[in-house]
Amino acid sequence: MNLFGTLRAPQELLFGAGQRHALGGIAAALGQRALIVTDARLAADDDFVAMVGKVRDAGLAVLVDSSTLPDVPVEAAAASAKEARSFAPDLVIGIGGGSCLDMAKCVALLLAHGGRPQNYYGENNVPGPVLPIIAVPTTAGTGSEVTPVAVLSDSERSLKVGISSPHLIPTVSICDPELTQSCPPMLTAIAGADALTHAIEAFTAIRRDPVPGITRQRVFIGKNALSDQFALRAITLLWQGLEPACRNGGDRAAREKVMLGATLAGLAFGVAGTAAAHAIQYPVGALTHTAHGLGVACLMPYVMTWNAPVIGNELARIAQAAGLDGREEVIPELASLFARIGIPSTLSELGLEESRIGWVAEQSMGISRLIQNNPRPFTQQDMYNLVAAAHRGDRSSLSSKDL
């Protein structure tokens, strides 16, 4: 096997307690007119107000846009960009959870290149650099602070859609775990489970032939030597820190592990990509209106069981990273961890009606960029069987004696 690796990351990444206080100086080095994107709840938060003050104190003109909605409706992103044009920002700062960061990315794109978000759906459709972006996450899960992806919800398609381009990677990311300490237990669980799913799917993704130019042809190229290192470290940190952080939000060490794990998982999947669990979650989320992290985490043990015959080596290394005795423990222990932090174990619990299993399977197979990244291929019937198994809670029907 050729030893091949690639990395896409912000120009600068700051991690650590108190690093949010560096925002003003960093912003001053990148622009003079800052559009700060957040949501209505966070706009009144003392830490947010203090960060805005730091940016103003650094001499920048500031416009705060607190209109971000969950899952970033396409129309809302377009409206925000239109509203900001008269301010003429030369810098966009996203402060908040994954939706706020994705909103900031989309607005920075539209301000730089115009058009509608729909013009840029898919991979590598952004024609050039966007406005400089500073990302300041206040949750630990999506990894959007380091990834080339912005996820939006499109009411016309009844699905979430993605814009994927290296141009969307923030210029600077500031990851301050103190900003996550006010996250309630369930939000901590949902976000952290999302991050662990990112790490596992990145580490178990397909490994493609590293032909010259592959990183220009694809945003998600599959697992490689560099993404594997980030993914494995993320698995260790999240496995150690997630349950304690959910149990005690004031556990500083646990919060640090979860946030660093989420960021490293973002660095891993930002180049390796995610796979079937994320593909299935898109239609499941559209039907059930449940949080993305709940869906991917619910699905992960089932997808891993399906993939088990072809990821034996990866399961062994995940076991080592998680401190487990062997690869056969990984899937049941993952399911147990998720159950302990409140993640539903079946799609039925998420609210998916049995009559919609076929539609979910069909829509999932249509998300080819993720399905093609899965290490074990699917037929349409295979996908139906997996979704049905996840609906009724029966991993045994997906098991293989080859594990």
DSSP label at residue 374: S
pLDDT of residue 352: 98
Assigned token pair, 5: 């690796």
| Residue 5 identity (one-letter amino acid) | G
pLDDT at residue 155, rounded to an integer: 81
DSSP letter, residue 382:
H
pLDDT at 401 (0 to 100): 45
- pLDDT, tens only, 235-258: 999 999 999 999 999 999 999 999
8 Å CB contact between 139 and 115: no
- 265, β-bridge pairs: none
What are the Cα distances from residue 244, in Å, to 11, 155, 232, 248? 32, 37, 20, 6
pLDDT at 6: 95
User: What's the pLDDT score for residue 1?
Assistant: 57
Q: Could you say which residues of the chain have pLDDT below 50?
A: 401-403
